[in-house]
Amino acid sequence: MLNKSILTLSVIGLTIISSGCNINDAATGELFHDNGNTINVSDREELYNNENDTNGQDRSRRFGYVRHQKSPIMGENISTENMYTLDREKVADSISKMSVSLPKVDDCATLVTGEEVLISYKTGEKDEKARFEVADQVKKTALSVVPRWYHVYVTDDPALMRDVENLASMGTNVDNAGTAIGDTIDLMLESSPQGRNVDAGENPNGEMIGDKYELQDDDVHGTNRQKRNDTTGD
């Protein structure tokens, strides 16, 4: 009888130890998910994924919350590689959907590159003031979706919608892609209103302006437009 009691206690003890290990492993896996330093995140999926999770809960109804700690491994650095990735196709889809929901926009094509958003849309507005207001709404729609470093360019010129569409087939690996994008942006600026300045330090496209700011290398479109305005003013 004594041996049976000892055996029973031993089995119970092993079960508890085993369960404790599983709990600790599960807790560690939850606290340090994937890269070893992300906690309080049960699952991370790609940006702008609105599909339901495995529990049937709509992700769009949940708050976003992430907390980071140093890696539990002494001396290990946190990798910043691919810290922020953007699904450009989904972002373009969101911008186009939101834009056509605007009262004065009937059609919208959006191209998202690494740092620019080109939007071509159709509107029935012909009056210059009305076109300006629509352009401002479309631009602000895009700015509400993309990261803050992006520049946004819009056009209601029907001839440029095909140009924007053609750019989409090029990709970043094409040698003259940057030049083609720049040329298209210049045409958009020449033919279409861009709305109001983003703020006191940025022009309507989100490029730096003003005496206290220096235009960055990728803000050449703002520079070109200023040159055209200066020439026109003379």
Beta bridge partners of 22: none
Mean pLDDT of 47-54: 51
Among residues of the chain, what percentage have pLDDT more than 70?
59
Q: Which two tokens stand for residue 191?
A: 């033919």
pLDDT of residue 171: 74
pLDDT of residue 86: 85
Quickly list H helices, the chain.
Answer: 2-31, 88-100, 128-143, 158-168, 177-191, 220-233
Q: Which two tokens stand for residue 66?
A: 């992430």
Q: Where are the domains of the chain?
A: 2-68, 88-233
pTM of the model: 0.65
Quick check: helix, strand or coil at residue 38?
Answer: strand
The residue among 189 and 218 whose pLDDT is bigger is: 189
pLDDT of residue 69: 76
Q: What span, in angstroms and rounded, lies between the C-alpha atoms of 20 and 30?
A: 15
Q: Are the beta carbons of 119 and 95 closer than 8 angstroms?
A: yes
pLDDT surpassing 60 at residue 197: yes
Give the angle 5-8-9 at the CA atoms, nearest 5°.
85
Tokens 């040698």 belong to residue: 175
pLDDT of residue 173: 74
Q: Are the beta carbons of 131 and 193 closer than 8 angstroms?
A: yes
Give me the long-range contacts of 81-90 (CB less than 8 A, separation at least 24). 84/147, 85/46, 85/47, 86/47, 86/112, 86/146, 86/147, 87/46, 87/47, 87/48, 88/112, 88/113, 90/46, 90/47, 90/48, 90/49
The one-character DSSP state at 220 is H
Query: Which pLDDT band, with edges at 50, 70 and 90, does 10 fall under?
Result: low
pLDDT surpassing 60 at residue 42: no
Q: What span, in angstroms and rounded, lies between the C-alpha atoms of 42 and 171?
A: 34
Mean pLDDT of 147-164: 95
Is the backbone of residue 14 left (phi > 0), alpha (psi -120 to 50) or beta?
A: alpha
Q: What is the pLDDT of residues 140-149, one digit of tens each?
A: 999 999 998 9
Lowest mean pLDDT of 51-55, 76-80, 121-125, name the range: 51-55
Q: What span, in angstroms and rounded, lies between the C-alpha atoms of 132 and 128?
A: 6
Render the burial of 57-69: b for 16+ CB within 10 Å, e for the rest. eeeeeeeeeeeee
Q: Which two tokens stand for residue 183?
A: 């040329």
pLDDT of residue 133: 98
Query: Which pLDDT band, with edges at 50, 70 and 90, does 111 fall under?
Result: very high
